[in-house]
Structure 1
Amino acid sequence: MLPFNSLRIVCLSRALVHPNWPMSNRQSVYKTVTCSAHFMSISFLKDIWNSNMHLKSLGKERKIIYYSNPVSSHRNYCTGQVQLNCWNCRQPLDTTPAFFCMSCKVVQPPEEGTSYFKIMNCDYTFTLDIHKLQKRYLQLQRSLHPDNFSQKSEKEQEYSESHSALVNKAYQTLLKPLSRGLYMLELEGMHIEEGTDSGADLEFLMELMEINEALDKARTPEEANKIGQDTKRKLAVLTEEIDAALLKGELQAAKALLSQMKYHANIEEKVKEKLSEFM
């Protein structure tokens, strides 16, 4: 009979050889191996990392696990499974992402691969709580702003700058529905740019042309406001449809709906410009 640790290694090997296994099976094998990873040699761990197997857990949480290749530090090694330690006092970090050490109060480096939703403490949903997002943003920027670390060590200044920039990027991405939706598609493995067009059909493009022409011909604030209200209603419907598509995992449908949202969002901006002309 093989030793217990050897059995874990064999299971992992089979998961790598058979990529067509159901993801739930491969994920459970992965968890079994990583939980016992501290029994394995560093050289063996490097072999696993070099396989470049990027496994993604399924389900409502949709957490993504990133690997570093090669393993360069304890912070990069499967942060979802291994306890991280403070770089200054070496005490365990209680939370993830850990912005500060609870023991020595020193700012920590950003954790590689942490999603914007986790950084901003938001639910993984297209219809997230904007008020909560804004509150979290202000809280983090107050505590992590580089000005607070001007008298600290060079390393702390560097980490605060990295955190501040990352928090700002996360906030800006999640704040607007379009960039938020595109980011969610990226988390699901669909790498697209914000300006990517999903190929709108002719009927939809003709409808947009008529709306734009009507807006150009608007001669009163009331006429422009009517177009603006119609656009807001369409954006609200699209928001619900995109949320439903993402929840069902219908990524191509979500991408097409996000393309429509982009056009209507542009019209909404044009309405604001038109209204400013009447002031």
Structure 2
Amino acid sequence: MKVYPSSTSWIVKIHLRWTCTNFRKDTCSSNAPSIQTTSARNLRTSSSSVSRMNENSSQLTVFVYSKLVAREQEEREYSEHQSALVNKAYRTLLKPLSRGLYMLELKGMRFDEGTESGVDAEFLMELMEINEALEQAQTPEEADKISQDTKGKLKGLTEKIDGALRAGELQAAKALLAQMKYFSNIEEKVKEKLSGFM
């Protein structure tokens, strides 16, 4: 009986080595299809041996493919999860308000609704005047002026908040963030007003 060349055994060994290297140990466990009959020592020209070789090769191919698909799915889900976290972090740190609130949260200070300590009667009066001027704006130029004024106030607040956080003055940063929150709402209202003129 003629034996297949030793190169066949080398190919099988390489295939096994790749399989066990690229998958977890369970790939090479007792659950994996046996390929002992495909070693060079057992490969004969008889039809029964070739049949067994083909059968075991097919089983191994299906097994490896299923492991590969499962691994790709797992890695894809992990990548999507990590990408979502990166995007969320980027959006949080991009805007001064959400960034400041996050920094306070890292220090253990919560910013609950209705507990804004940086809002006094004078500040509320200023907000009322700005909102009234925005409602009465009849042209894009009038609305744009309010927009520019609001952006200027937000820029100034951003600098003050960053300074307070660097100095560890958390209560001051919290009060300034409360003011920023109101001006951010006005900024959104201005955008809606300007879009109405288009």
Partner of 2:89: 170
State the alpha-carbon separation in 2 of the partners of residues 151 and 275 from structure 1. Answer: 51
Q: Secondary structure of the residue that 2:109 maps to in structure 1?
A: coil
1:203 Cα shift? 0.8
For residues 64-75 of structure 1, what are the structure 2 equivalents within 5 Å? none
What are the ranges of 5 or more consecutive residues in structure 1 without an aligned counterpart?
1-87, 90-149
Partner of 1:184: 103
State the alpha-carbon separation in 2 of the partners of residues 197 and 255 from structure 1. Answer: 10
State the alpha-carbon separation in 2 of the partners of residues 242 and 197 from structure 1. Answer: 18
State the alpha-carbon separation in 1 of the partners of residues 78 and 122 from structure 2. Answer: 51
Return the match for 1:241 from 147, 153, 160. 160
Letter in 1 for 2:186: I
For residues 47-58 of structure 1, what are the structure 2 equivalents within 5 Å? none
- How many equivalent residue pairs? 132
> Could you tell me the TM-score, scaled by structure 2's length?
0.61
Partner of 1:156: 75
1:169 Cα shift? 1.4
For residues 1-279 of structure 1, what are the structure 2 equivalents within 5 Å? 152-193=71-112, 195=113, 197-199=115-117, 200-279=119-198
Compare CA radii of gyration and give the structure with the larger one. Answer: 2
1:198 Cα shift? 1.3
Letter in 2 for 1:198: E
State the alpha-carbon separation in 1 of the partners of residues 109 and 152 from structure 2. Answer: 28
| Maintained 8 Å contact 2:111/2:174 | no
**Between structures 1 and 2, the one with greater helix share:** 2
1:197 Cα shift? 4.2
1:263 Cα shift? 0.6
The structure-2 alpha-carbon separation of the partners of 1:162 and 1:180, relative to structure 1 and needing over 3 Å to count, comes to: same
Letter in 1 for 2:95: K
State the alpha-carbon separation in 2 of the partners of residues 172 and 156 from structure 1. Answer: 24
Letter in 1 for 2:145: K
1:191 Cα shift? 3.0
1:153 Cα shift? 3.2
> Could you tell me the TM-score, scaled by structure 1's length?
0.44
State the alpha-carbon separation in 2 of the partners of residues 196 and 172 from structure 1. Answer: 25
Q: CA RMSD in A?
A: 2.3
State the alpha-carbon separation in 1 of the partners of residues 98 and 115 from structure 2. Answer: 14
1:207 Cα shift? 0.6
Runs of 4+ in 1 over 2 A off after TM superposition: 150-155
Letter in 1 for 2:189: K
1:196 Cα shift? 5.7
| Maintained 8 Å contact 2:150/2:186 | yes
Percent identity, please.
Answer: 70
State the alpha-carbon separation in 2 of the partners of residues 192 and 268 from structure 1. Answer: 21
What are the Cα deviations for residues 167-209 of structure 1, in whole angstroms up to 9, with x where unaligned?
121112112111110001111221335x564131111011100
Letter in 2 for 1:252: Q
